[in-house]
Chain A
Amino acid sequence: MYSNLWLIPFFPLIGSIINGLFGKKIKNEAVIGGIATGLMFLSFLVAAQNFFKLLGDKEKVHELVIASWMSVGNFQLNWELLLDPLSAVMIMVVTGVGTLIHLYSIGYMHGDESFYRFFSYLNLFAFAMLMLVLGGNALVMFIGWEGVGLCSYLLIGYYYEKKSASTAANKAFIVNRVGDFGFLCGLFVLFWALAEKGVWTLNFVEIAESGHLLESGGLLITVVTLCFFLGATGKSAQIPLFTWLPDAMEGPTPVSALIHAATMVTAGVYMIGRMNGLFAMAPATMMTIAIVGGLTAFFAATIGLAQNDIKRVLAYSTVSQLGYMFLAMGVGAFSAGIFHLMTHAFFKACLFLGSGSVIHGLHHAYHHAHLHDDPQDMRNMGGIRKKMPITFITFLVSTIAISGIPFFSGFFSKDEILWWSFGSTRGHCLLWVLGAAAAGMTAFYMFRLVFMTFFGEQKTDARAKDHIPESPFTITIPLMVLGFLALIGGYIGVPKILGGANRFHAFLAPVFEHAQHANEIHAHGSHATEYTLMAISVAIAIIGIFTAWVMYVKNPELPGKFVARFAGAHRVIFNKWYIDELYDFVFVNPCKKIGTFLWRGVDVKIVDGVVNGCAWVVKGIGSGLRYTQSGYLYNYAMIMVVGVVLIVGFFVF
């Protein structure tokens, strides 16, 4: 019935292979882009077909076994896909946003030397991401999980001639690998624990069915889930593994939009949602997730306050928003987390694409004027709204959405998270405080970004400022679609308290409800409390926006004074809390030193020392004994006679 499911990842894979192998020969950008985007769109159509079929279907969980993968004794593993409401939502997001970003890239990457390579990677990424969300067992998911990591590596390092790009790519992959280490450990422990109970499986459905065999809240389940969570922090850039994401902005902007905002980085959230049954059984892990999520949301927001690079601000904003999602997962608001994942995909993709549009325009202008200014530095922008009206409007809509202003999509999802973090049985009011503070800061720095970029005087170099064009339609169409989605995307999940039906929640219920019921996870509290909290968070957002307006539009000299007043704090925040330096100091440099020591010290000196020492001793003995070889015949004869006498004498006497 859902037998065409495999087509969804298959189309982008084909695209990737075609462009990868023959793109160089094709050369024509329109054809290459057309193949990639078209196949992506086909994939979207198939996804939509399956999605709507699932909407009308009573049976919500469908598995499709494609082939056997590994079969070793009791361990049987298949290539299998799983379609349930959760993965249905994800494939819609991935293929939908993915198609738009493919379209956008045709315009954005126009004129690039290895256009085909970019699209090959991008399609490959879509394939991997779809494998990740559709994977019917943990290992197929892991294929996607590592596959997106690979594509992220390839795309961040797309401009590989830039040292910073390739370094950022390495960092991304390696930090992700640390997370993968956790994922693998979790997988192994889980498999072993279940195998002990007689269930040899990695299949998600079977894991969910036999999860109850493990003791709820026990050490084992906590270890398993914590390991998985480590994996999630790597992929989704949470504390302590978030440092790679800001650096990942070295990649082309569509990549940042697709991979580092809309899809890949949410894989961790998705994974927790996928294994919600296990996580729900481990309250300690849930608490850890909530705390880590809340802290990440807060700290990333503080760093975002002081950055000047437009994409870095967005990157920290992404980290912060991902923190929100983890907060949601941690307090048991699984569907709210996925909801935010979706709305975030819309508005953050729109924001990244919008910033890309601005960068593209500025780059064009600088190129025209033969300047080499940094087109990503917000201090060189300002007043662009008149030059790029479509970009400006969509950008503004998304910014309002992310700030949590009522009736935009971000409001509904964010508010549900905040409410759960306060009222859930696994929540706490301090978590709410963290979330609310982060929301205020988000509103501030996002509007700071808008004001610095689009309002005020044009600070761009005079020679270039008249040459900033509005972007071509391949760029603006995706912007408009995404802006529209950012505006209305929230209406599928309007909470009951505001008169909605929360259809999103209901749709995902088959996936999450069982675990929530079994482990008594629900939000409680009066309507009055809920209204109050909602009002407070809106107020905080508006205060944030107002502050930004005061500082960056009304009194543009204010920020400078502010920085001077709190120089120390600003330096810490501006340098990202010195986390990178800390990691260098604690992990990277010792590793290098140990490596050098093991090589030069242990390997060469000790081990080879012993080996060569043996040789040296033998050689020494030999060179001592060689002087017995005088070379004179009579000496040998003499010794021989002595020997004969001794031997015969020994027998005679």
Chain B
Amino acid sequence: MADNLLSLMTFFPLLGILILLFLPRDNGGLLKGVTLAVSLITFAISLPLAFDNVFTTSGGMHYREFYQWINIGDFFQMNYNIGVDGISLWLVMLTTFITPITILSTWDAVEKNIKGFMAMLLLLETGMLGAFISLDLFLFYIFWELMLIPMYFLIGIWGGKNRIYAAVKFFIYTAVGSLLMLVAIIFVYYFAQQSGALTNGFGIQELYKLDLPYNAQFWLFLAFGFSFAIKVPMFPLHTWLPDAHTEAPTAGSVILAAVLLKMGTYGYVRFAMPMFPDALPTFIPFLAFLSVVGIIYGSLVAMMQDDIKKLVAYSSVAHLGFVMLGVFAMNLQGLAGGMIQMINHGISTGALFLIVGFLYERRHTRLITEFGGVATKMPIFATIFMIVTFSSIGLPGTNGFVGEFLALMGAFQSGLRWYAVFATTGVILAAVYMLWVYQRVMFGKVTNPENENLKDLSAREIAIMLPLLLFIFWIGIAPNTFFSKMNPAMELMLEQMGADKVAVVEMHQPADGHAAGHTNGHADTNADHQ
């Protein structure tokens, strides 16, 4: 059992799909119940991971499984090579945690073809879990593409009015990135074979050890980075996100925000950055710049939205900017901030999409102007929305703060000081757009007669939100639960990324970085003082 825990967890949802196939198509309750049960069992299977203390002591890969899969002699090998470490651990947990919640949230929302919908959700879960645990580059690519398909159908079949456009846009955007990545993967493999370094398929731990020439790293990082940047999404490759989010059904939006976007950031941490450490110093200023632009841009655009869902979508762009900035800081604080912010974003933004979903189910509109004074009609909803809003704003004591704070602190300590200053303005802007929308939706008098009969949250809806609220406070107050298991893995990863090669200001030594050109002014003045 424990030997194959990860495989069991990953493929259990597929088993669920198999069960669904044999159930009658008309019995919606049964279908939903079975799906929920399957996702809950998946969660239960994954639980031992969260309680395993091996992660606190060792940063390497655990729960390894290795089987040969496609083996054409020396020409082509790929293996079923999976494992989990402190970095992927919480993302895996987030996935198994969020999926039952989304399934529960669609209880009344989906009417047509429930069977297909549920099957897609489960397929998506398998894809996401597989991508997080793959240690073989090619296997990763397969799962990466596998995620794309159910999401495409979720948007395209169960989406809103403009769903076809959104689904195609989402698909093509992502596919373009994926193809670039595929080319890069093939090239890496080719190169590894040439150098004779590869004995183990596309195993990333061996690819880490490849010493590619700078030129190759440059182009490969570009290809990988581009692909992941689309998924993150980083400015200016973000425009699929608002459309996809707006048109997707609530469950789709939640999973898209909570997990799928993390694929991009995770890809940077796991693949792009450690595999091509020499190219990093060249790209980091540029990427950090885009992250900061994303933060400010996303916030400003979010401010002016009239559709709540779009607002949340743009706020995602800003939040993920913090993640990326933290990751690019290339030090432990920044990386920890980035990683925890991924989880946070999954929880907070997922919760926000659920909240928008609640409103949408009641009123079938998402326009802010249609609402107003909802707080008087739905006090419990108002409270929950308020907590989530402040979590999204990053109020200390909630999860958002821990992530933003550490990410920014990391950035301040690295060569990204000036970027961090601008990124910090995002803290103000986040308050502006979130509070403004909260005011317009919840406060004031009920002006629209259609809002008179709004019902407060049902027990099911409260049950959906409670676990999320729990984690909002848990991460905010005792993040060490998470950090203690992430730290060893992050230290290893930073070593692999060659954190010392990048112009990071280490203790006792002032910045000398060539790459950190922008920061020189600041660092020099500091050096003068010494």
The answer to whether A and B touch in the complex, with CB atoms under 8 Å apart, is yes
Cβ of B300 within 8 Å of any chain A Cβ, yes or no, is yes
A9 contacts across to B, CB distance below 8 A: none
CA distance A43 to B421 in the complex (A): 39
- A595 CB-CB contact with B under 8 Å: yes
Q: Which residues of A contact B421 (CB under 8 A)?
A: 185
Which B residues, 401 to 446, have Cβ-Cβ distances below 8 Å to chain A? 401-402, 405-406, 408-409, 412-413, 417, 420-421, 424-425, 427-428, 431-432, 435-436, 439, 442-445
- Chain A proximity of B509: nearest CB distance (Å): 8
**A160 in contact with B236 (CB, 8 Å):** no
Convert B442-467 into 0s and 1s, putting 1 for each residue whose CB lies closer than 8 angstroms to a CB of A.
Answer: 11110000000000000000000000
Chain A residue contacts of B427, Cβ below 8 A = 177, 180-181, 184
Shortest CB distance B66–A (Å): 31
Query: In the bound complex, do residue A166 and residue B443 qualify as a contact, i.e. CB atoms below 8 Å apart?
Result: yes
Q: Determine whether the beta carbon of A611 is less than 8 Å from that of B239.
A: yes
User: In the complex, are the beta carbons of A173 and B405 less than 8 A apart?
Assistant: no
Is there an interface contact between B424 and A215, defined as CB atoms closer than 8 Å?
Answer: no
B452 to chain A minimum Cβ distance, whole angstroms, is: 14
**Chain A: which residue is nearest B305 at the CB level?**
A599
Give complex CA distance A191, B172 in Å: 44
Contact status A195-B435, CB under 8 Å: no
Q: CB of B228 within 8 A of chain A? A: no
Chain A CB within 10 A, most for which of B302, B408, B487, B526:
B526
- A196-B510 contact given A72-B336, A150-B395, A219-B529, CB 8 Å threshold: yes
Verify if A220 is at the interface (C-beta below 8 Å from B).
yes
User: Given the complex, which residues of B lie within 8 Å of A599, measured CB to CB?
Assistant: 300-301, 304-305
Contact of A198 among B375, B395, B443, B507 (CB under 8 A): B507
With the chains together, A191 CA to B405 CA distance in Å?
12
- The number of inter-chain residue pairs (CB within 8 angstroms) is 159
A563 within 8 A of B: no
- Chain B nearest CB from A551 CB (Å) reads 40
A603→B406 CA distance, assembly (Å) = 30
B246 to chain A, nearest CB (A): 13
- List residues of chain A with CB within 8 A of the CB of B332: 72-75
A473 within 8 A of B: no
CB-based contact B239/A607 at 8 Å: yes
A174 touches B435 (CB 8 A): yes
Contact A157 B529, beta carbon cutoff 8 Å: no
Task: Say whether A160 contacts B333, CB under 8 Å.
Answer: no
Chain B neighbourhood of A185, CB < 8 A: 421, 424
B397 touches A73 (CB 8 A): no
Closest residue to A145 on the B side, CB-wise? B396
> Contacts of B302 on A, CB cut-off 8 Å?
595
Bound CA–CA A175/B471 (angstroms):
29
- Expressed in whole angstroms, the minimum distance between the Cβ of A184 and any Cβ of chain B is 6
Partner of B508, one of A146, A181, A198, A607: A198
Main secondary structure of the interface of A (DSSP, over half): helix
User: How far is it, in angstroms, between the C-alpha of A67 and the C-alpha of B479 when the chains are bound?
Assistant: 12
The contact string, 1 if C-beta is below 8 Å from chain B, for chain A 176-198, is 01101100110011011101101
Q: Chain B residues with Cβ under 8 A from A219's Cβ?
A: 525, 529
Complex: A170 Cα to B435 Cα, angstroms: 6
Q: B132 on the interface (CB 8 Å rule)?
A: no
Other-chain residue from B405, B408, B444 in contact with A163 (beta carbon distance below 8 A): B444
Known interface pairs A69-B479, A181-B424. Does A188 touch B408 (Cβ–Cβ under 8 Å)? Answer: yes
Chain B residues in 8 Å Cβ range of A166: 439, 443-444
Name A69's contact: one of B336, B443, B480 (CB within 8 Å): B480
**Are A181 and B428 within 8 A (Cβ)?**
yes
With a CB–CB cut-off of 8 A, which chain B residues contact A74? 332, 507
A192 → B minimal CB distance (Å): 5
- CB contact between B373 and one of A161, A165, A174, A195 (< 8 Å): that residue: A161
CB-defined interface of A189-231 with B at 8 Å, one 1/0 digit per residue?
Answer: 1011101101010000000000000010011100000000000
Enumerate chain B residues within 8 angstroms of A542, measured Cβ to Cβ. none
Indicate whether B206 reaches chain A with its CB closer than 8 angstroms.
Answer: no
Contacts of B505 in A (CB 8 A): 192, 196
What 0/1 readout, one digit per residue, does chain A (241-282) give for beta carbons within 8 Å of chain B?
Answer: 000000000000000000000000000000000000000000
Please report the C-alpha to C-alpha distance between residue A196 and residue B428 in the assembled complex, in whole angstroms.
28
Q: Nearest Cβ in chain A — how far from B167, in angstroms?
A: 13
Question: Looking at the complex, which one of A73, A150, A178 makes contact with B491 (CB distance below 8 Å)?
Answer: A73
Give chain A interface residues in 79-110, CB to chain B under 8 Å: none
Query: Max chain B CB contacts within 10 Å: which of A166, A220, A608?
Result: A166
Q: Are B529 and A220 in contact (CB under 8 A)?
A: yes
Give Cα A153–Cα B402 distance, bound, in whole angstroms: 21
**How distant is the Cα of A167 from the Cα of B240 in the complex, in angstroms?**
33
Q: For chain B, which range describes its interface: under 10, 10 to 19, 20 to 34, or 35 or more residues?
A: 35 or more
Give the contacting residue for A189; candidates B373, B412, B432, B444; CB below 8 A: B412
B413: which of A169, A177, A178, A192 is its contact (CB, 8 Å)?
A192
A611 touches B173 (CB 8 A): yes
Within 8 A of A (CB), among B196-224: none
| A residues in contact with B444, CB < 8 Å | 160-163, 166
The chain B residue sitting closest to A113, CB to CB, is: B376
Q: A422 CB to closest chain B CB, in angstroms?
A: 33
- Note all chain A residues with C-beta closer than 8 A to B395: 146-147, 150
Check B397–A191 contact: CB distance below 8 A: no
Q: Is the CB of B397 within 8 A of A143?
A: yes
Residue of A nearest to B172 (CB): A615
CA distance A611 to B230 in the complex (A): 13
B169 at interface, CB cutoff 8 A:
yes
Say if the beta carbon of A596 comes within 8 Å of chain B: yes
Contact B396 A143 (CB under 8 A): yes
Smallest CB separation, B3 vs chain A (Å): 32
Contact of A157 among B301, B417, B443, B483 (CB under 8 A): B443
Q: How far is the CA of A608 from the CA of B239 in the complex (A)?
A: 6
Please provide the chain A residues from 268 to 306 with a CB less than 8 Å away from any CB of chain B in the complex. none
Contact B425 A181 (CB under 8 A): yes
Please tell me if A598 contacts chain B, counting CB pairs below 8 Å: yes
A143-B396, A173-B431 given; A220·B425 CB < 8 A:
no
Return A251 CB to nearest CB of chain B, in Å: 14
Given contacts A72-B406, A174-B435, A177-B428, contact A594 B300 (CB under 8 A): yes
Give the residues in chain B near A218, CB-CB below 8 Å.
529
Q: Please give, as numbers and ranges, the residues of chain B lying within 8 Å of A579 by CB-CB distance.
A: none
A161-B373, A191-B409 given; A598·B301 CB < 8 A: yes
A139 and B332 alpha carbons, distance in the complex (Å): 18
B408 contact set on A, CB distance < 8 A: 184, 188
Q: Beyond A181-B428, A611-B239, is A72–B526 a contact (Cβ under 8 Å)?
A: no
**B412:A174 contact, CB within 8 angstroms:** no
A630 is an interface residue with CB less than 8 A from chain B: no
Query: A71: CB under 8 A from chain B?
Result: yes
CB atoms of B428 and A611 under 8 A apart: no
What are 27 A-B pairs at a CB distance below 8 A?
A: A67-B478, A72-B332, A72-B333, A72-B336, A72-B487, A75-B409, A145-B396, A146-B397, A147-B396, A153-B435, A160-B442, A160-B444, A161-B444, A170-B435, A174-B431, A188-B408, A195-B507, A196-B505, A198-B507, A220-B529, A591-B300, A595-B300, A598-B297, A599-B300, A603-B242, A607-B239, A611-B240
Extra contacts, 13 of them, besides A73-B336, A602-B297 (Cβ < 8 A), are A72-B406, A146-B397, A161-B376, A169-B439, A173-B431, A174-B428, A181-B424, A181-B427, A192-B505, A198-B507, A198-B508, A595-B301, A611-B169
Residues of A at under 8 Å CB distance from B? 67-75, 139, 142-143, 145-147, 150, 153, 157, 160-163, 165-167, 169-170, 173-174, 177-178, 180-181, 184-185, 188-189, 191-193, 195-196, 198, 200, 215, 218-220, 591-592, 594-596, 598-599, 602-603, 607-608, 611, 615
